[in-house]
Amino acid sequence: MSDDPMNGKKPAGTPGEPEKPQEIVAEEAAAQVLEHRPFEPGKIELDFHRRVDTSFLQYASYVIRDRAIPNLCDGLKPVQRRILWSLHEKDDGRFIKVATISGHCAQYHPHGEAAIGDALVVLTNKRYLIEGQGNFGNIYTGDPAAAPRYIECRLTELARNEIFNDELTEFVPSYDGRNKEPVGLPSKLPLLLMLGAEGIAVGLSCKILQHNFVELIQAQIAILKKESFKVLPDFFTGGLMDARDYRDGTGTIKVRAKIKEKDEATVVIKEIPPGTTTDSLIGSIEDAARKGKIKVKSINDFTSEDVEIEIKAPAGVSAEKLIDALYAFTDCEVSISSRIIVIKNNRPVEMTVSDVLRENTAQLLDTLKRELELKEKKLLQEMHVRTLVRIFVENRIYKKIEQCRTSEAITEAIEEGFRPHRKELLRDLTPEDIAMLLDVRIRRISLFDINKHREEMDRVKGELAETQKHLKNVSRYAIGHLQGLIEKYGALYPRLTKSSRHDEIDAREVAFKAFKVAYDRESGYIGYKVSGDEFKTECTKFDKLLLLFKDGHYKVIELQEKLFVGPDLYFAAVPERDRVMTLVYSDREATYIKRFTFGGTILNKEYFCVPPKSKILFFEPDTPETLYIKYKPAPHQKIHQQTCAPKEIEVKGPKTLGRQLTIKDVGSIGSRPPRGWDAEAATPKLQFL
């Protein structure tokens, strides 16, 4: 884009030209600004806007392709590829300081040695490609690695043999143009699924889970044999995995810590879910205990080379219930989503595990074929060179060049000497062949052993025949290659995460009743931080409270630390939707009784279970066997006390009026005989109206 806002045109007022009116100049400038994009009403277009848009898109593209998202061809992010290439360049079989590799890699990676060192530590802890010596941190405890100058690393045998081939590697200039770096490594391993990846780019993110090496190779063999296959994630931290919703890498999995019962009151965590550490796991347990979701007596961390977290339950809590609570309320169970996004043909694409494996297998076939073709070419060249040397020595062609004075004469003499033996050669003689023959030393000529030469030729012919045989059926050769990998490396990489089916744990069922709710009528407060004597109830974090007041209105609220409700609270408890309640109330005309269930309610909404201006005389959960009613004294009143059987009344909703009990003034009513009850007097039973 030109920096000249007029794009090289002369401005108005240039000497020798008549000056244009200001309005025309403005119109021409606006037209030039809008040349590059269609006009949008109400939108101002300036060069600065376009520059910002372009720069942002370039930045987003760079972050997606060159930093955060791995490439499908070798399964590596750019920093990982550059680290491995630096190790390959420095590889001599011995350990190398991580600081040395970081410094060497900085000529390819422009984001600093700290980023390189961190990525190298992560790759080393994944064990497949880099072998470490020294303190590379602890994946269980989350302890960091030592400084790069104190730790060493080198390529593993697997990496050295399976992901490098300089002759098949395509190179591009590095960021500063001083060096060449690989576009992609010719990997023969499904590294993307072996290593896993997690990256956040501009408007895009990926989460690729690690899988087991042996199972991936077996799946590739199944693909080559056109058989069905299935692979599941496998994590270095172990754990128990439920992969029913994995959906070939497009869904989620649940991973649990491996917890064992040590005794009736003690459990031990032996393996942890991925993405957690012993510190974060203990932190989640302590946090759940503070919030009253679980009860623990003590937590002891004995982790060293293996995870061992011992948790003791308090009195009255069994180890089995504690395990369920740990899975329900702590990081002992985590849900992990998988989203496989990779760079394919320079563009981000979303794939499944099966898609990635098929692409990796196709690349394996292509790489093996190219290696075989390269080997065939080298073997043919070796046969040609050995044949040239044999003819050159046996027929004493070197004698013909002793009297030659010029290079042209030498070339002509050699060509003349080989002309009778053309049928023995694989191809015509070239200037490069002649230069090679002229470099043959006299010592080699004098010590030439025809028998040894024949043995070498037989070896080369055997290798060539085998190579050409493999080229005719690359798939069979690839299967043999993969089976060899399993045989050689399979024992080093066993499955660590066991697959199992987890039963869903209802958090409400396993929650501990750690909150003691009480009501203080004098102050009017209710909650689990209130010191009161009424309506004492043990609750879990998930429980709600039903509050019933003397005027007959009720509501359901969240569990509170301390809430002012006033002195007129009549009843408080954990609500039970279908529990039958018995209620007696009176208005100005009569006394009524009803049985009902509260049913469903909306949180914090007020409802009424008695008509307006009524008064509750009796309320009790469930249905008492008998109600004892004592009337207030009145003139000419013959009956002073009666009983009734509430179970004879049908159960309805909270808004029902109920059945009329009596028109007399009730002095007291209860499920037990009240004070002043005359047990010897006649007590007729009430009939409901």
Structure tokens at 378: 């080298």
pLDDT at residue number 426: 86
Confidence at 462, pLDDT banded by 50, 70, 90: very high
The DSSP letter of residue 673 is P
pLDDT at residue number 219: 96
Burial of 110 (0-12, 13-18, 19+ CB in 10 A): exposed
Who has greater pLDDT, 7 or 415?
415
Has residue 3 got a pLDDT over 50? no
Has residue 331 got a pLDDT over 70? yes
Q: Can you tell me the distance from the alpha carbon of 327 to that of 343, in angstroms, rounded to the nearest whole number? A: 37
Q: Where are the alpha helices (DSSP H) in 225-293?
A: 278-290
Least Cα distance to 211 among 273, 277, 142, 126 occurs for 126
pLDDT in tens, 174-212: 989 999 999 999 999 999 999 999 988 888 889 999 999
Q: Cα dihedral angle (637, 638, 641, 644), rounded to 10 degrees?
A: -100
pLDDT in tens, 554-580: 999 988 888 999 998 989 988 888 889
Has residue 38 got a pLDDT over 70? no
- For the chain, helix, strand, coil in percent to 5 are 35, 20, 40
Structure tokens at 85: 């290439």
Has residue 317 got a pLDDT over 50? yes
Least Cα distance to 208 among 325, 95, 70 occurs for 70
Has residue 63 got a pLDDT over 70? yes
Of 53-67, 146-160, 254-268, 663-677, which range is least confident?
53-67
pLDDT in tens, 597-633: 998 888 989 999 999 888 899 999 999 988 888 888 8
Has residue 228 got a pLDDT over 90? yes
Q: Can you tell me the distance from the alpha carbon of 220 to that of 367, in angstroms, rounded to the nearest whole number? A: 15
Has residue 678 got a pLDDT over 90? no
Has residue 37 got a pLDDT over 70? no
What is the phi/psi pair of residue 247, to 5°? Answer: 50, 55
Domain boundaries, the chain: 363-492, 507-670
Has residue 5 got a pLDDT over 60? no
3 state DSSP class of 223: helix
- Pairing label, strands 591-596, 651-652: parallel
Confidence at 104, pLDDT banded by 50, 70, 90: very high
pLDDT at residue number 564: 93
Has residue 427 got a pLDDT over 90? no
pLDDT at residue number 444: 67
> What mean pLDDT comes out for the span 339-348?
92
pLDDT at residue number 45: 56
Of 19-28, 350-359, 528-537, which range is least confident?
19-28
Active site residues: 150
pLDDT at residue number 75: 93
Which of the four CATH numbers 1.10.260.40, 2.120.10.90, 3.40.30.10, 1.20.1740.10 does domain 507-670 have? 2.120.10.90
Q: Can you tell me the distance from the alpha carbon of 544 to that of 552, in angstroms, rounded to the nearest whole number? A: 19
Structure tokens at 64: 């997606």
Who has greater pLDDT, 649 or 638?
649
pLDDT at residue number 32: 46
pLDDT at residue number 15: 42
Average pLDDT, the chain: 86
Q: Is 63 left (phi over 0), alpha (psi -120 to 50) or beta?
A: alpha
Confidence at 30, pLDDT banded by 50, 70, 90: very low
pLDDT in tens, 376-408: 999 999 999 888 888 888 888 888 887 888 888
Structure tokens at 157: 């045998």
Structure tokens at 19: 């000056």
How big is the CA angle at 685 (ends 679 and 689), to the nearest 5 degrees?
150
pLDDT at residue number 172: 93
Please write down the long-range contacts of 560-565, taking CB distance under 8 Å and 24 or more positions apart: 560/526, 560/527, 560/528, 561/527, 561/528, 561/529, 562/525, 562/526, 562/527, 562/529, 562/530, 563/525, 563/526, 563/527, 564/524, 564/525, 565/519, 565/524, 565/525, 565/526
Is the distance from CB of 329 to CB of 507 less than 8 angstroms? yes
Has residue 18 got a pLDDT over 50? no
Has residue 294 got a pLDDT over 80? yes
CATH class in words for 363-492: mainly alpha
pLDDT in tens, 503-555: 666 555 666 666 788 999 989 999 888 888 888 888 877 788 999 998 889 99
pLDDT at residue number 466: 94
Half-sphere exposure of 579 (CA within 13 A, CB side): 11
Has residue 12 got a pLDDT over 50? no
